[in-house]
Structure 1
Amino acid sequence: MSDKKKVRIELIDIAKAITIILVILGHTTGNLETPMYRRLLYAFHMPLFFFLAGMSIKAKELKSFREWMSFIEKNLLALIVPYLIFAFIYAPFSFENVPKFLYGSWQMLGKTGTLTSLWYLTCFFVARIYCQALMNLLSIAKCKNMNLWLGILAIPMFAIGFMLPKIEIGYPWCLNVSFVATGFILLGIALRQQILILAQSTGWILFIITVVSGVMLAFGTILRGDALELSLMCGGDYGNVFWFMYNSISGTVLILGISMLIFRVSREGARPFSTAAITYVGQHTLGIFLLHKNIQLDLIIPWIRTWLEGPQLLVACIATCISFAAALLLCAIIEKFVPQLLGQFPIYPQKEA
């Protein structure tokens, strides 16, 4: 494996690991309370998730019906199979819930009493199809710089997602939110190479980028105080679109900057260290995402409250650490024995007769 490829993989995984920890922290209050730290995290953490997903995707055309079927099958197994499995696992058993699961919006998931975070899987599935369709259209149009055009096409995707009218029960399979998600994925695909080049800059440049983006995020969130709305991308509630995009961009740059610094320090610091642990987390974000929330809200936080009546943020941080460790452990066990639950379908070698 070349050093360049290794930089790409580790950088993306480090950023994903940081992001999933932020997601867990944001879930410590459930869906009702809106403390400042939660409003700050929700200002950018899901756009960041989709952007990083885009950085993991290589733009290419699907040239045949067979390739399309393979693409659909791969994403069904990776996203929709775990969606359906965990939807039934977390919800009270009822045949009435089946059509609600199949509808697949965040609002309908809430009506079933299951894990509402599962909206991400249906949304991402639809967004992947949108992205691939655009790649094929650009290929048919013989566009020479596909990445550039994908970045440009992110603009109309955002516009459509923001302008679509709201529906009380949400759109099936988060079709509306998927347009906004597609915009962030397309930006991730388009900017991947430039970000990887930037990651090789000197440390002081990366430090300045990180500090500036952090100040910008603080300006768009903390300094706005009560004017900062809670952005719920899951329900298509973006608040002020300008501030939503502003905070999404500054928050994404901040986490990428921190990830770049961690990678550089791990290689070039006074005491180099391995990033194997954090990249392992980054490679298992889907499993952690699926497993942490109910453990956190139903078990860990109530237990912490029995012996700690401290500040909400302190409780949230402790709960995040414990929930993260528990979800990671469960993820490792499931991956070893039943990887299909996490959308992994390994091909086992056949024994000779």
Structure 2
Amino acid sequence: MGDNQHRRIDFVDLTKGVCIILVVMAHIGGAFDQLDKHSMLSCFRMPLYFFISGIFFKPYEGLYGFIIRKTNKLIIPFIFFYVSTFLLKYIVWKIAPGTFHLPVSWRELLFVFHGHDLIKFNPPIWFLLALFNCNILFYLIHYLRDKHLSLMFAATLLIGCTGFFLGKFHIELPLYIDVAMTALPFYVAGFWVRRYNFFLFPSHRFDKIIPSFVLLALVVMYFTATTPGMRTNNYPGNIFQVYIAAFAGIFMIMLICKKIKRISIVSYLGRYSIITLSIHGPIIHFARPVVSHYIHNDWAEASALLLLTLTICILFTPILLKIIPQLVAQKDLLKVK
């Protein structure tokens, strides 16, 4: 298993790319909403992101070193994109006050501390905080795996169930901690698959029946899928529906991407998905009025907006990597001593 833990797995970048494209499509909405029949896309979209993150878990030098590294990877990009996109919105409002329906207030910077309120100037960025908390939660229980693996899984299920029912009872924890709790089983599943399973091996005899697994996953999702609201920790279905449908979708996409292995542009988006995640919200906000002004067919408008948004993200990615790699999770800003 050791070699499997350290080998770069190309199809995981492809999976991340597919995931971020699905996220962008969801935020564009419109005609794309029609693709989400029976919630068969929304049921696994964000759980897949947590799952992939679990694949890359490493304990590093201890809790302090782990927190510093995850701060570099998640909190610093969150702060940078959170503040910069607010300032962009504020400057645009000052220059052209009619751009937004309501005045832009500095109090909007406090939205992140207001339960799970929508971060209006950059809605998708909540995920970085939730993922940071999910990392910390798993770090606190992962030591059980060496001698008490079953206990680690029990703790994971307990935390996940607690987070789920906090949502059912409308009890919010600050900074998306409750969301991280609900998402922990997905994260741990990614960790487990990387270390204890043949699933990520480049080739395996079971690969020949991938189409059968995909068909089975589609059937499972058809009968169990609901639309989870992970940002708000709100889940309309019961706990079994939510997790079963999500895992079916996760493994379906992973298996399809394993079969394909790589699509250059999509894999590139996946490798640097944190940038696309953090900038596509403002891009959509400003690009939508322009696109809708010239295109009046729903499908053409949604497709053009998707293409424009992803193109801008792809063009901006190397610029950000070159100029400010420490702020976009590519180099460490805080050093581990």
TM range (shorter): 0.7 to 0.9
Separation of aligned partners in 1, 2:323 and 2:223: 47
The residue identity in structure 2 corresponding to 1:213 is A
Which residue does the alignment assign to 1:16?
16
Which residue does the alignment assign to 1:77?
72
Shift of 1:317: 3.2
Which residue does the alignment assign to 1:126?
133
**1:161-176 pair list within 5 angstroms:** 161-164=163-166, 170-176=172-178
Separation of aligned partners in 1, 2:224 and 2:170: 29
Which residue does the alignment assign to 2:294?
307
Is the aligned partner of 1:214 residue 2:218? yes
Separation of aligned partners in 2, 1:3 and 1:279: 22
Shift of 1:257: 1.3
Separation of aligned partners in 1, 2:10 and 2:219: 26
**1:77-156 pair list within 5 angstroms:** 77-91=72-86, 94-101=105-112, 103=113, 105-107=115-117, 109-110=118-119, 113-136=120-143, 138=144, 143-144=146-147, 146=149, 149-156=151-158
Separation of aligned partners in 1, 2:319 and 2:229: 32
Separation of aligned partners in 2, 1:145 and 1:280: 38
The total of aligned residue pairs comes to: 311
**1:1-353 pair list within 5 angstroms:** 8-29=8-29, 35=34, 37=36, 39-58=39-58, 60=59, 67-91=62-86, 94-101=105-112, 103=113, 105-107=115-117, 109-110=118-119, 113-136=120-143, 138=144, 143-144=146-147, 146=149, 149-164=151-166, 170-192=172-194, 193-194=196-197, 195-197=199-201, 200-201=204-205, 203-221=207-225, 228=226, 230-241=227-238, 242-263=240-261, 275-299=263-287, 301-312=288-299, 314-345=300-331
Shift of 1:191: 2.0
Shift of 1:343: 2.8
Compute the RMSD of aligned alpha carbons: 3.0
Separation of aligned partners in 2, 1:145 and 1:279: 36
Separation of aligned partners in 2, 1:84 and 1:205: 44
Separation of aligned partners in 2, 1:106 and 1:3: 41
Q: CA 1:84–1:20 in 2, change beyond 3 Å: closer, same or farther?
A: same
Contact 1:88 1:114 in 2 (8 A): no
Separation of aligned partners in 1, 2:314 and 2:6: 23
Separation of aligned partners in 2, 1:69 and 1:202: 40
Shift of 1:240: 0.8
Shift of 1:168: 7.3
Q: CA 1:7–1:316 in 2, change beyond 3 Å: closer, same or farther?
A: farther
Unaligned runs of 5+ in 2: 91-104
Contact 2:166 2:172 in 1 (8 A): no
Match of 1:320, SS state, is helix
* CA deviations over 1:165-205 (Å, ceiling 9, x no partner): 57879421111111012221111111224222485235431
Shift of 1:288: 0.8
Match of 2:330, SS state, is coil
Shift of 1:22: 0.8
Separation of aligned partners in 1, 2:151 and 2:245: 24
Match of 2:294, SS state, is coil
Shift of 1:306: 2.4
Unaligned runs of 5+ in 1: 222-227, 264-273, 348-353
Separation of aligned partners in 2, 1:167 and 1:346: 39
* CA deviations over 1:91-129 (Å, ceiling 9, x no partner): 25554344444x27431x53xx32121111111111111
Shift of 1:47: 0.5
The residue identity in structure 2 corresponding to 1:184 is F
Which residue does the alignment assign to 2:102?
none
Contact 1:104 1:174 in 2 (8 A): no
The residue identity in structure 2 corresponding to 1:308 is I
When normalised by structure 2's length, the TM-score is 0.81
Match of 1:17, SS state, is helix
Bigger Cα displacement from structure 2, 6-15 vs 92-101: 92-101
Q: CA 1:303–1:132 in 2, change beyond 3 Å: closer, same or farther?
A: same
Match of 1:41, SS state, is coil
* CA deviations over 1:1-39 (Å, ceiling 9, x no partner): x99578652121111111111111111039xx9656284
* CA deviations over 1:299-336 (Å, ceiling 9, x no partner): 1x323322332235x53333222211211211221111
Q: CA 1:41–1:122 in 2, change beyond 3 Å: closer, same or farther?
A: same
Match of 1:42, SS state, is coil
Q: CA 1:162–1:24 in 2, change beyond 3 Å: closer, same or farther?
A: same
The residue identity in structure 1 corresponding to 2:289 is P
Contact 1:53 1:188 in 2 (8 A): yes
Separation of aligned partners in 2, 1:6 and 1:165: 36
When normalised by structure 1's length, the TM-score is 0.77
Bigger Cα displacement from structure 2, 163-172 vs 173-182: 163-172
